[in-house]
Chains A and B, each alone.
Chain A
Amino acid sequence: MHKDNQPLIFEMTKEGRIGYSLPDLDVPEIDLAELFPEELVRDEAADLPEVSELDIMRHYTALSKRNHGVDSGFYPLGSCTMKYNPKINESVARFPGFANIHPLQDESTVQGAMELLFDLQEHLKEITGMDEVTLQPAAGAHGEWTGLMMIRAYHESRGDMKRTKVIVPDSAHGTNPASATVAGFETVTVKSNEQGLVDLEDLKRVVGEDTAALMLTNPNTLGLFEEQILEMAAIIHEVGGKLYYDGANLNAVMSKARPGDMGFDVVHLNLHKTFTGPHGGGGPGSGPVGVKKDLIPYLPKPVLVKTEQGLTFDYNRPESIGRVKPFYGNFGINVRAYTYIRSMGPDGLKAVTEYAVLNANYMMRKLQPHFDLPYDRHCKHEFVLSGRRQKKLGVRTLDMAKRLLDFGYHPPTIYFPLNVEEGMMIEPTETESKETLDAFIDAMIQIAKEVEENPEIVQDAPHTTVIKRLDETQAARKPVLRYTKPE
């Protein structure tokens, strides 16, 4: 990465330059003042950039060089499954027949797209063990909210109006409680036990007639499989609640255990994680939701169905929770996920999980002597180290994460889950080679040594990036959220 600041595009602007080529106006010109009331005609042009095409390309090329992606280097960001994003996916999503079709075209003119969606649903049903799948939700959190709204509709349809609470483990993703709130529920936290798993006694304490659902990630955010999943399912089902599966960690269990077989009633997946979306710098994602039979009537509208005349969107769903998104979900991401699944096949997906888990356990054991490992047992696709030992020497996990930047790595997820002190959550994924893992392990070990011998180098890190640590307090106290032209 080079160190010169890249000017904002607004600082490169010069009146008179253009970067576009519009079609010719081949119809008579008109005067807007004759068509619209004066107050609705814009009198001052929006101050957008004025730059040439080469200026634009150089600007964004410079920005891209100041950004780290999976293609730039290892990116073991826990819970995010930063695996390789296959290039065939990008090509397929750009086929004119997928990229340039309109959602409201007559269904007879988009049967190819609908076939792809239908077949993707069939594949996801088999992979999750659920009875029906909707591809509507745009991302994981959107899927969580959709699933919870369905659970709410299910309870209410039975006249069961007292189910106001959603139970969430203390190690859960932040979206779980937030989605519960948006769906109109109150959140109750269930504690983890000393093994890092849900404390069954505490679960028995918090469940009741007011329980709408328990949201679980399995393996959980510590990368540990909830061995007592059937007991938990029984506890929830006993009181009439539903079991919700947060699919962020599905990469750990493909072909090994299906949420549908573990007793889950609703599942969301993150197609941008397990199924190579890609992540896009923060999105777009796709968050399909799978359900068991008794929840099918509540699926969001429309539902894609097969008829003798072909595929059609069914809007006549009287018990549906309604629409969760305009049109049919993030189709372009669904195309990429479908392409990925078809590239892997059943044996490929099984190998994905096996190698993801093997890689994680290998790293965990190699790093164990140098850091604290709060939960010492086989992990699944990710594991969480604690920086407790280093903290005692005056170096925080944040410092070690920043030091990793000097080695060209994206750091792990840090300070999450909340039940591990100075946590570092590492998820290597299956697409990384042993050489890459070994090099990262060496870097981590070197940093652990530096903490003992030369802590300043870690505390002052990063040393090689385009900027140093940023003043986040100033950013929040005096927010500057847009560029303003100097007077």
Chain B
Amino acid sequence: MKHRYLPMTSQDEKEMLEAIGIESIDELFADIPEKVRFKGEYKIKPAKSESSLTKELAALAAKNADSNRFASFLGAGVYDHYKPIIVDHVISRSEFYTAYTPYQPEISQGELQAIFEFQTMISELTGMDIANSSMYDGGTALAEAGMLAAGHTRRKKILVSRAVHPESRDVVRTYALGQSIEVEEIPLKDGHTDLEALKNMIDDNVAAVMVQYPNFFGQVENLKELEPIIHEAGALFAVSANPLSLGALTAPGKLGADITVGDAQPFGIAEAFGGPHCGYFAVTKKLMRKVPGRLVGETVDEDGRRGFVLTLQAREQHIRRDKATSNICSNQALNALAASVAMTALGKVGTKEMAVQNITKTHYMKQQLKGAGFELPFSGAHFNEIVVKVNAPIKELNDGLLAKGIIGGYDLGRSYDELDGHMLVCVTEQRTKEEIDAFVQELTAKVQEVGATHA
């Protein structure tokens, strides 16, 4: 068997067998009982050469409608943003991507320092004391926040706003099931978490209240008004925040959040059909020793030189085993690096400018939709997304838009019965005025056409 990844020659094989003192490789597998031994070869596709496989997979990729070729107005948790080109050049350095968890700090200072910088940037943006080195994604990070809160407060109920991403709520429920934690949903009012309902639901059995900022509908929840209701009941305040929005919006840490989580995908990470993205997890100092996942800390070496190490590992599975605060082991380190590079490139000024651009362009879209006669059910200001009442099957509209080079919005009827016939439209800084105008024009035309068909 000759293969470019396998350096073994027949001469090597002969010498190695001799050194071991056996005749054939098969002898090394003689301890596998006859009954379970697999004979022959897997019935899978034969190997392909590099060029031929590249060609085949390029053709498969080309079958998909990507956001390079189409103007995308789809968000709902995953965004087509400006990715500084430098990001891919940094994460393509194989000293980073072919390493594993930095257990040997003397030869892993690069990764450790990069993660320490990531932790710092996330702390800065969220206004929290401490951030960890990453989680799988925003949804599982929120679920872990629920488990942390239940453990910390010794309470067994979580209240989740219905304005939290529907898929994140689903993930929270699955994790809660494992821990026998009860999950209740806080209803909506005008596209926001209903404060009056929350006041009625909350009691001293509640471990955490979870909201999203900005929420699934692009509305900015007023964390300042939520905070006293939650803390008066002794519950933890968990906020799932889009970190880009924090370039322009007040940090959750400044508004009383105990745990802030989210996904750093808006910072330089590809949409990639939903993953891998990059969850983050940030807390106040008092929760530091309960954080899931890896933490990098600063220290000194024998000569007093500054260095970085994995620290507070007594929380983690490889030390604490069944008493660990979480089972997470591998995380999203390379994507945390990507997000760090993007946050560095955007920097203090660019992060704010990009956040403001998103608000400004979304506002422009809102004005254009209103001008075209669309009903926009929610009254608040928006970040990235707007809910539009179209009164037509979203799929048909999106099929029509696609023919015009546009990827349309999300069908809210998939997750909210009361919002059937509503589209969640997303605008990022990537969308030009021309594209937004074209979207409104095509949507208007298509709604009329579909309406006529159905009438």
Inter-chain pairs besides A85-B98, A184-B177, A326-B77, 8 sampled, C-beta below 8 Å: A20-B350, A30-B360, A36-B220, A45-B349, A145-B178, A174-B321, A350-B41, A430-B8
**Does residue B121 face the partner (Cβ distance < 8 Å to A)?**
yes
Chain A residues, CB < 8 A from B295: 479, 481
Q: A109-B402, A177-B321, A327-B274 are in contact. Are A67 and B107 (CB under 8 A)?
A: yes
The one of A10, A126, A365 that contacts B19, using a Cβ cutoff of 8 Å: A365
Q: A49-B347, A77-B100 are in contact. Are A110 and B381 (CB under 8 A)?
A: no
Q: Are the C-beta atoms of A27 and B360 separated by less than 8 Å?
A: yes
Chain B residues, CB < 8 A from A180: 322
Q: A41-B249, A174-B319, A281-B100 are in contact. Are A472 and B311 (CB under 8 A)?
A: yes
The one of A93, A322, A345, A410 that contacts B107, using a Cβ cutoff of 8 Å: A410
**Does residue A329 face the partner (Cβ distance < 8 Å to B)?**
yes
**Does residue A297 face the partner (Cβ distance < 8 Å to B)?**
no
B62 to chain A, nearest CB (A): 5
Q: A111-B63, A112-B61, A282-B133 are in contact. Are A326 and B38 (CB under 8 A)?
A: no
A432 to chain B, nearest CB (A): 7
Residues of A5-44 at the interface with B, using a CB-CB cut-off of 8 Å, are 5-6, 8-10, 13, 17-23, 25-30, 32, 35-37, 39-43
By Cβ-Cβ distance, the 9 closest A-B pairs, closest first, are: A327-B274, A97-B61, A345-B47, A103-B274, A112-B63, A280-B334, A67-B110, A282-B333, A69-B98
Chain B residues, CB < 8 A from A348: 1, 3, 6, 47
Q: Are the C-beta atoms of B66 and A97 separated by less than 8 Å?
A: yes
Q: Are the C-beta atoms of A331 and B60 separated by less than 8 Å?
A: no
Q: A326-B138, A480-B298 are in contact. Are A378 and B30 (CB under 8 A)?
A: yes
**Does residue B294 face the partner (Cβ distance < 8 Å to A)?**
yes
**Does residue A205 face the partner (Cβ distance < 8 Å to B)?**
no
The one of A39, A61, A110, A229 that contacts B65, using a Cβ cutoff of 8 Å: A110
**Does residue B54 face the partner (Cβ distance < 8 Å to A)?**
yes
**Does residue A268 face the partner (Cβ distance < 8 Å to B)?**
no
Q: Are the C-beta atoms of A279 and B327 separated by less than 8 Å?
A: no
- A29–B433 Cα distance when bound, in Å, is 12
Q: Are the C-beta atoms of B7 and A332 separated by less than 8 Å?
A: no
Q: Are the C-beta atoms of A97 and B106 separated by less than 8 Å?
A: no
Q: A282-B333, A401-B104 are in contact. Are A178 and B97 (CB under 8 A)?
A: no
Q: Are the C-beta atoms of B433 and A27 separated by less than 8 Å?
A: yes
Q: A282-B101, A343-B48 are in contact. Are A22 and B110 (CB under 8 A)?
A: no
Residues of A88-117 at the interface with B, using a CB-CB cut-off of 8 Å, are 88, 90-106, 108-113, 115-116
**Does residue B36 face the partner (Cβ distance < 8 Å to A)?**
yes
Q: Are the C-beta atoms of B363 and A181 separated by less than 8 Å?
A: no
Q: Are the C-beta atoms of A109 and B334 separated by less than 8 Å?
A: no
Q: A280-B334, A333-B276 are in contact. Are A482 and B120 (CB under 8 A)?
A: yes
Between-chain CB contacts (< 8 Å), 28 pairs: A9-B117, A9-B344, A25-B357, A35-B363, A42-B250, A46-B251, A46-B348, A80-B100, A82-B98, A86-B5, A91-B54, A98-B64, A100-B271, A110-B64, A129-B38, A174-B319, A184-B177, A283-B330, A326-B275, A327-B273, A332-B276, A342-B53, A343-B53, A359-B16, A380-B28, A405-B107, A411-B104, A470-B308
Interface residues on B, range: 35 or more
B447 to chain A, nearest CB (A): 17
Chain B residues, CB < 8 A from A242: none
Per-residue interface assignment for chain A, residues 407 to 419, with 1 indicating a CB less than 8 Å from any chain B CB and 0 otherwise = 0001100001000
The one of A225, A405, A481 that contacts B296, using a Cβ cutoff of 8 Å: A481
Per-residue interface assignment for chain B, residues 226 to 241, with 1 indicating a CB less than 8 Å from any chain A CB and 0 otherwise = 0000000000000000
Chain B residues, CB < 8 A from A42: 246-251, 352
Residues of B61-118 at the interface with A, using a CB-CB cut-off of 8 Å, are 61-69, 72, 74, 76-78, 80, 82, 84, 86, 88-90, 92-111, 113-114, 116-117
Q: Are the C-beta atoms of A475 and B297 separated by less than 8 Å?
A: yes
- A71–B99 Cα distance when bound, in Å, is 8
Chain A residues, CB < 8 A from B298: 475, 480-481
Chain A residues, CB < 8 A from B108: 66-68
Q: A67-B99, A174-B319, A278-B97 are in contact. Are A347 and B41 (CB under 8 A)?
A: yes
Q: Are the C-beta atoms of A106 and B398 separated by less than 8 Å?
A: yes
Q: A30-B360, A103-B274, A481-B296 are in contact. Are A284 and B136 (CB under 8 A)?
A: yes
Q: Are the C-beta atoms of A326 and B324 separated by less than 8 Å?
A: no
Per-residue interface assignment for chain B, residues 166 to 200, with 1 indicating a CB less than 8 Å from any chain A CB and 0 otherwise = 01101101110111100000000000000000000
- A433–B72 Cα distance when bound, in Å, is 47
Q: Are the C-beta atoms of A346 and B44 separated by less than 8 Å?
A: yes
CB-CB nearest in chain A for B294: A282
Q: Are the C-beta atoms of B123 and A482 separated by less than 8 Å?
A: yes
B272 to chain A, nearest CB (A): 4
Q: A327-B275, A332-B276 are in contact. Are A70 and B98 (CB under 8 A)?
A: yes
Chain B residues, CB < 8 A from A333: 276
Q: Are the C-beta atoms of A351 and B297 separated by less than 8 Å?
A: no
Q: Are the C-beta atoms of B329 and A467 separated by less than 8 Å?
A: no
- A77–B100 Cα distance when bound, in Å, is 9
Q: A48-B344, A106-B395 are in contact. Are A410 and B104 (CB under 8 A)?
A: yes
Per-residue interface assignment for chain B, residues 243 to 263, with 1 indicating a CB less than 8 Å from any chain A CB and 0 otherwise = 000111111000100000000
**Does residue B163 face the partner (Cβ distance < 8 Å to A)?**
no
Per-residue interface assignment for chain A, residues 319 to 331, with 1 indicating a CB less than 8 Å from any chain B CB and 0 otherwise = 0011111111111
**Does residue B161 face the partner (Cβ distance < 8 Å to A)?**
no
Most buried by A among B136, B224, B247, B350: B136
The one of A8, A72, A284, A327 that contacts B335, using a Cβ cutoff of 8 Å: A284
Q: Are the C-beta atoms of A50 and B348 separated by less than 8 Å?
A: yes
- A186–B323 Cα distance when bound, in Å, is 10
Interface residues of A, CB < 8 Å — how many?
207
- A109–B434 Cα distance when bound, in Å, is 24
Q: Are the C-beta atoms of A5 and B306 separated by less than 8 Å?
A: yes
A56 to chain B, nearest CB (A): 5
- A341–B45 Cα distance when bound, in Å, is 9
Q: Are the C-beta atoms of B136 and A178 separated by less than 8 Å?
A: no
Residues of A455-470 at the interface with B, using a CB-CB cut-off of 8 Å, are 462, 465-470
- A53–B84 Cα distance when bound, in Å, is 10
**Does residue B162 face the partner (Cβ distance < 8 Å to A)?**
no
CB-CB nearest in chain B for A148: B178
- A23–B357 Cα distance when bound, in Å, is 9
| Interface segment out of the listed B124-132, B203-211, B438-446 | B124-132
Chain B residues, CB < 8 A from A56: 86, 90, 341, 344-345
The one of B64, B179, B349, B361 that contacts A97, using a Cβ cutoff of 8 Å: B64
- A406–B98 Cα distance when bound, in Å, is 20
- A377–B3 Cα distance when bound, in Å, is 29
CB-CB nearest in chain B for A321: B174
Q: Are the C-beta atoms of A283 and B96 separated by less than 8 Å?
A: no
**Does residue A149 face the partner (Cβ distance < 8 Å to B)?**
yes
- A108–B137 Cα distance when bound, in Å, is 26
A453 to chain B, nearest CB (A): 23
- A479–B315 Cα distance when bound, in Å, is 14
Per-residue interface assignment for chain B, residues 20 to 54, with 1 indicating a CB less than 8 Å from any chain A CB and 0 otherwise = 11000101111111011110011111111010011
Chain B residues, CB < 8 A from A13: 347-348
The one of A8, A80, A112 that contacts B62, using a Cβ cutoff of 8 Å: A112
